[in-house]
Structure 1
């Protein structure tokens, strides 16, 4: 059965995990569905923003416990070491595909975001969470480490001591603590409504400028110790925007006090 739905409307791709009866737990079909959804949006020029959510009471409870038995019978080296998606394996691509998208991704969290579900959420640019939402780097509970892109994402979000505590203990934290530690952007009563509202706002901005901004932020995060490289990339990206059709339309719309229309 389909695990993920994708609906594109008004330049916003609504990507929804649809296994609500199982708290959107991750089985192989869910892995495949999430990757297919993300990669299917890569070259869609109509999409300017993605809203990522999960149906039912929880965003994603992490790996389906029934999947552990199937995984235990496989050769772990053969299963996880091949790079099947550029720099990532299948499990890592579930989270990293959203960072690889050229458009912003906004996640709406409720219930729990545990283990792989937490790492999936971290792949988004921005995360809204409902009050009472719980998050956890859950892998240590099963004698494992985060292996779905968590270590490529978490060091940019939280302090080293916080990362170590979360990883070593597997202890769930409430949304308020997640907000204080940098895992959540904002706590709101209706995270999906907030995500859609923000997506609509971003979709009204210059598509080329938004995409350039996401790419530049990613570059800056990856080259934090090389200020010269970041400054040069900043200038290069700006030069690509100045005077181009989208930027000229923004200027015209501002002068004429209207909404811009991008082609």
Structure 2
């Protein structure tokens, strides 16, 4: 992971996650797939985590699949790890395969994940971006649902992640044509939350806000958002009640109230 993805823990429990394959514009080779999966697994069990900011170093967020590096390994018992594109049907990471997990896995990190994109976000890289809870994007970022260019379909969790964010006909056109669009267009269409000239700085500022909220309520809210599109009204109403019942009158919930009343920085515990 160390030569593909870095994790730096900042004050207030913020994880600064960066793609660092700068010589290849952070393109997804096998080592990058595995590095992102490892980073997500670390974040899922990290104590004191309050928010995550994901960005790419160098000229791009992520240029998508590095096609030249994949599919070169011989079949063996560890083939999926050595090449995540080999076994697409197997659910190797929960409800996802390993290739899908580099995008879908951010939804399984308990704390909110904020992405900051610049330069290029193509294909698989655009799907990785889409996995974040909140997405800041530079207006000049080059974006594309690129897979049709290579005679393929988007298959790294794009469809479930884009569902509800983008109009169906717009998504169909972008998929069928694989045309490029800008970061500003991405925000206008619903792919991105905010367009920003300084996406990393704005993402980090929002992460600091998140870090001052009751972490139990933040995690519960994320769980509710994760089921919102598929649950029935009755299931979602019950889930709201269950989550609230687990939070009310707990030490962190009371600390949220007291810190507001006393106008001071909250001190939460895991």
Please classify the TM superposition score into its range, dividing by the shorter chain length. over 0.9
Are 1:85 and 2:87 counterparts?
no
Instruction: Report SS of the residue matched to 1:222.
Output: coil
User: 1:233 pairs with 219, 232, 239, which one?
Assistant: 239
Give the alignment of 1:93-108 within 5 angstroms. Answer: 93-108=101-116
Runs of 4+ in 1 over 4 A off after TM superposition: 71-78
Match of 1:38 in 2: 40
Match of 2:142 in 1: 134
Match of 2:211 in 1: 203
Does the Cα contact within 8 Å between 1:155 and 1:163 map onto a contact in 2? no
TM-score by length of 1: 0.94
Instruction: Report SS of the residue matched to 1:135.
Output: strand
TM-score by length of 2: 0.92
Are 1:157 and 2:157 counterparts?
no
Match of 1:54 in 2: 56
Aligned residues, how many?
Answer: 261
Mapped to 2, the partners of 1:70 and 1:157 lie a distance apart of 36
Mapped to 1, the partners of 2:186 and 2:118 lie a distance apart of 13
Does the Cα contact within 8 Å between 2:70 and 2:85 map onto a contact in 1? no
Mapped to 2, the partners of 1:184 and 1:78 lie a distance apart of 30
Match of 1:29 in 2: 31
Unaligned runs of 5+ in 2: none
Question: What are the superposed Cα offsets for residues 145-178 of structure 1, whole Å, 9 maximum, x if unpaired?
Answer: 0111111111121111111111111111111211
Mapped to 2, the partners of 1:178 and 1:242 lie a distance apart of 38
Shift of 1:78: 5.8
Instruction: Give the alignment's Cα RMSD to 1 decimal.
Output: 2.0
Shift of 1:65: 2.9
Match of 1:191 in 2: 199
Match of 2:258 in 1: 252
Unaligned runs of 5+ in 1: none
